[in-house]
Amino acid sequence: MRIVVADRIAASGVEYLQKQDDFEVVEAYGSSPEEVLQLARDASAFIVRSETRITAEVIEAAPKLKVVGRAGVGVDNIDLEAASQKGVVVMNAPGGNTIATSELTFTHILCGARQIAQANASMRSGKWDRKLFSGVEVFHKTLGILGLGRIGSEVASRALAFGMRILAHDPYLAPARAEEMGVELRDLDTVFSEADFITVHMPLTEGTRNLIDKDAFARMRDGVRIFNCARGGIINQKDLVEAIQSGKVAYAGLDVYEEEPLPGNSELRGIPHLVLTPHLGASTREAQESVGLEIAQSLAEALRGGVILNALNMPSVDRKTLQALGPYFRLGENLGNFLQQIAPDQVKKLRITYYGKFVDLDANPLTRTILKGYLKNISGDTVNSVNAPILLQQLGVENEVVKSNEARDYHELILLEAETGDGGRYSVEGTVIGKAGLPRIVNINGREVEAPPEGIMIVVENHDVPGIVGTIGTILGRDGVNIAAMSLSRNRLGGLALNVVNLDSRPSEKAFQSIISSDSIESALVVVL
């Protein structure tokens, strides 16, 4: 089997593969897109970092391709959907860069406090400007950390060692976990208004894109210092430049950018109070050694039909278990994602209850897939079936799995429940129906429904009065949104009813507000799966 190493990884990873008798290793560093297409024809596997793009065209041109391995975390350069459709496993090495990125972040923080880079440049030009480069101490300063996952937690521990006060914003982190770490959990406005330093450690999602923009800067204290070693696009670069030039931001440090490589004519390059590094988060000898060897070993195991680790587009299961549980993986992931969107951000406990044949099966792979779905919008591309339980634990959320012999209306059923600290409870149940094994949501918060868990959905709770269906349909019709399916449920005649509407496209904000403002509608929520 031919393995194409398209981007340079640690020598130990390449050597490991070369020592295997059943592999032919092709080192093709710096290949053009045309050359990658040519190499794909005989490739059983690709190993890439962030430089080489594995597009749908590349996957289509590779009839033997089984695995794509990313030596690192982010897979923005790999077409996951195309890979899944072709049965190509995409895996990454999520754990190797944690320390490297957290240390780089704190290096940026210290450089922002003491102007090391600017002072060095001045010295090299022959100057001696001691007064110009007066800095500040981090001791007793307040550090705001946005996102307290693996890397954010490591940054927090280093900041505490320097005597900093830590304010953390992570809507999914349990308060008990924050207290255990020695940080203060606060809302975003509080972090913005009180922090002297702010560092970003969130995935890039629709919810975090341009999270720090002109309005956010306006809420910060004058002279704030801000840093991003996570993902480009979370900080609006244009607004950051204006904030630095106005003096609102005293110093900033970036390792990631909206466009990479950073264009040579980018205005960021001319800002004196801004330290730039070329995406060095994982660029340490130890991190590269770790991720290079990790991805080589995982990829080799997958090619030989063994246990699949760190897969981003499929669960890690053996073939026998996969055959039995296979129809439920898509259902489970979408149920988890659905529950996360209808429940509050802070959840104390998740409970998964299996009914039917699941009782006699090892449901662990399915459980991991459900947790991955729940964390999809929280952890972004860092979550997979392997690390989902760990990430959930880091959020301080308890996970319980129950297998029940209780008779239910369906032969096999999955019940997911989320409990909050104040006793709130949110639930969704699902199964597969028919010979085709079609996934269906059959209960939401105790209300019986039947809805496909896919695409764009609106979940509406309304008073059981005539005309509601017509109202919703009219508003969506005026908005050019087609209804694909609708399921209705009510607790009693004239009581509260639940409408679950599957849509072909997302409604505009104006249309959604029109639905919410209707007199007989209690609540409405858009869910995107």
**What's the CATH number where 83 sits?**
3.40.50.720
Q: What is the mean pLDDT of residues 139-145?
A: 98
Say yes or no to pLDDT of 300 above 80. Answer: yes
Tokens found for residue 272:
């004196």
pLDDT in tens, 152-196: 999 999 999 999 999 999 988 888 889 999 999 999 999 999 999
Helices 319-342 and 364-379 sit at what angle, rounded to 10 degrees? 40
Hey, is 228 helix, strand or coil?
Answer: strand
Q: How far apart are CA 280 and CA 269, in angstroms?
A: 17
φ, ψ dihedrals at 165, nearest 5°: -90, 135
Question: Which residue reads 């060692």 in tokens?
Answer: 161
For 434-490, list the strands marked E by DSSP. 438-444, 447-451, 456-463, 483-490
Picking from 319, 312, 198, 314, the residue whose alpha carbon sits closest to that of residue 252 is 198
> Measured on CA atoms in the order 307, 357, 343, 520, is the torsion positive or negative?
positive
Per the document, the length of the chain is: 529
Residue 462's CATH number: 3.30.70.260
Q: How many helices (H) does the chain have, and how many strands (E)? A: 17, 22
Let me know whether 181 and 306 are in one domain.
no
203 and 304 in a common domain: no
Band (pLDDT 50/70/90 cuts) for residue 149 is confident
Determine the pLDDT at residue 229.
96
| pLDDT given for residue 81 in this prediction | 80
CATH, residue 421: 3.30.1330.90
- Write out the catalytic residue numbers: 231, 260, 279
pLDDT at 317: 56
**459 shares a domain with 430:** no
426 forms beta bridges with 418
Residue 432 DSSP SS3 = strand
Dump pLDDT digits (tens) for 18-71: 999 999 999 999 999 999 999 999 999 999 998 999 999 999 999 999 999 999
- Asked whether the beta carbons of 354 and 433 are under 8 A apart, the reply is no
Hey, CA dihedral for 176, 414, 317, 80, is it positive or negative?
A: negative
Domain range for residue 230?
A: 98-276
Indicate if 230 and 294 belong to the same structural domain. Answer: no
Asked if residue 485 lies in contact with residue 451, where contact means CB atoms within 8 angstroms, the answer is yes
| Residue 468: both structure tokens together | 């509601």
Q: Distance from first CA to last CA of the chain, Å, rounded?
A: 36
Report the DSSP beta bridge partners of residue 69. 47, 91
Domains identified in the chain, total number: 4
Pairing of strands 184-185, 45-48: unpaired
Quote the CA–CA distance of 44 and 61 in Å, as a whole number. 12
Cβ atoms 36, 52 nearer than 8 A: yes
End-of-domain residue from the set 223, 249, 276: 276
Would you say residue 400 has pLDDT above 90? yes
Q: Do 185 and 302 fall into the same domain? A: no
Q: Is 319 helix (H, G, I), strand (E, B) or coil?
A: helix
Residues 42 and 155 in one domain: no
106 and 217 share a domain? yes
Cα 451 to Cα 446: distance, rounded to the nearest angstrom: 14
Give the integer Cα–Cα distance in Å for 291 and 70: 9
With tokens 């204290």, the residue in question is 221
Q: Which residues 6+ apart lie within 8 Å of 259 measured at CB?
A: 232
Q: Kindly tell me if the per-residue pLDDT of 270 is higher than 60.
A: yes
User: For residue 423, what are the contacts with CB-CB under 8 A and spacing of at least 6?
Assistant: none
Token code pair at residue 234: 């979370």
Per-residue pLDDT at 314:
67
The residues, any chain, with a CB within 8 Å of residue 276's CB and separated by 6 or more, are 253, 254, 262, 268, 269
- Which of 216, 251, 276 is a domain's end point? 276
Q: Closest Cα partner for 237 from 219, 260, 221, 220? A: 260
Same domain flag for 123 and 269: yes
Residues 493 and 436 in one domain: no
Same domain, 294 and 328: no
Structure tokens, 241: 């430049």
Q: Looking at the structure, do residues 327 and 401 belong to the same domain, yes or no? A: yes
Final residue before a domain boundary, out of 452, 467, 489: 452
Could you tell me if 372 and 471 lie in one domain? no
Sign of CA dihedral 116, 118, 121, 126: negative
What is the dihedral sign for C-alpha 305, 307, 310, 315?
positive
Please, what's the b/e burial string for 122-135 (b: 16 or more CB within 10 A of its CB; e: otherwise)?
A: beeeeeeeeeeeeb
Cα separation values, 518 from 345, 358, 447, 483, 521, Å: 26, 43, 22, 19, 6
Residue pLDDT, tens place only, 458-511: 999 999 899 999 999 999 999 999 999 999 988 778 788 999 999 999 999 999
pLDDT in tens, 348-362: 999 999 999 888 887
d(CA 472, CA 468): 6
